[in-house]
Structure 1
């Protein structure tokens, strides 16, 4: 069973930034690495489930024509809507995965620190829905904290192994360090340099 909504509601009841996304250098640095890992300068449509208070979302909004975010915690949705209020092309919905996956297409889906809150069955449903939602040149980026999190059904390695197994797409980016793992898969297998005609 995936982690229940009350867990996340409890986190946001105590703080508007329960993971210290704004204050901690670790989070700021990871966000910069995430953005630098994107093979494109701009995307048509990005989907970021589990947006929390939208610190990463605000950065993603700068590089797309449409941004859709969602979160299962109503407090997070309210915070994200406030954070993204300056972006007319950004929308935040209240929803729980996998059931509330949007019936839309995206050329980038970002799963940041969300996969291990799902059990294996729910995560596989999310992966299937993501694969169906990706455009012909679509990409999926996943980034997760590597140490075990108490109460989570999966760890980062299990999440990324399931993604790699079930997406069955070329992997363009792999960044791994003691704290987190980041990978990006793409229907367009050519590298950034290859797309610019450099190889």
Structure 2
């Protein structure tokens, strides 16, 4: 992580919801779009780094057997653990990317609002780690703010440009608005379960 940990410590010292995930319509709507963009109804194992206070995590938890959440900031980890305490299939750990990448395989990795906090080299490492950790039918969802953020080594478009250049996956969803870009990439060219479709 290129941005200093004190940056996030300061945000969480001032508020338990520094980005207003719980109260802003923008954040609620974006969260619902993220969930609607997942082509599969259910996942076995999801990894969500940069989980913050766990608002998106709570929605992801409804769609999986196991959810692993990470955050760099210890206060965020505590808040997310409190938010998700009633869900035994969810683990929240403190971790700093790219160094603290978890073991095992995932059929969904969610990289939401994290890429611009990493320099290009670190982001490329996260991309490589993601690809190596996906199951053969797995997918990666990325969503990032498109406006400049002071102090960040990358902007949202640069983050997604590197995904497009380096991901050896199939992009099956792309949703762009003035404020954010959301994409879903799959290991398979189609994520439709043929057993669930009409003849």
Q: Same fold (TM over 0.5)?
A: yes
Aligned length: 199
- 1:175 alignment partner in structure 2: 175
Deviations 1:100-156 (A, max 9, x none): 000111000000100100000100010100100000001000000110111110011
Q: Which runs of 5+ in 2 are unaligned?
A: none
Unaligned runs of 5+ in 1: none
What are the residue-to-residue correspondences of 1:22-41 with 2, within 5 Å? 22-41=22-41
Aligned to 2:158: 158
The Cα RMSD (Å) is 1.4
Find the aligned partners of 2:161 and 2:34 in 1 and give their Cα distance. 19
Instruction: Report the TM-score when normalising by structure 2.
Output: 0.96
Displacement of 1:163 in angstroms is 1.0
> 1:45 matched to which residue of 2?
45
In the alignment, what sits opposite 1:79?
79
> Using the alignment, how far apart are the partners of 2:5 and 2:195 within structure 1?
42
Rounded to whole Å, the distance in 1 between the matches of 2:198 and 2:138 is: 22
Q: Matched residues in 1 for 2:158 and 2:194: separation?
A: 31
TM-score w.r.t. structure 1 length? 0.96
**Equivalent-residue separation in structure 2 for 1:77 and 1:133 (angstroms):** 23
Q: Does 1:98 align with 2:105?
A: no
Q: Which residue of 1 aligns with 2:122?
A: 122
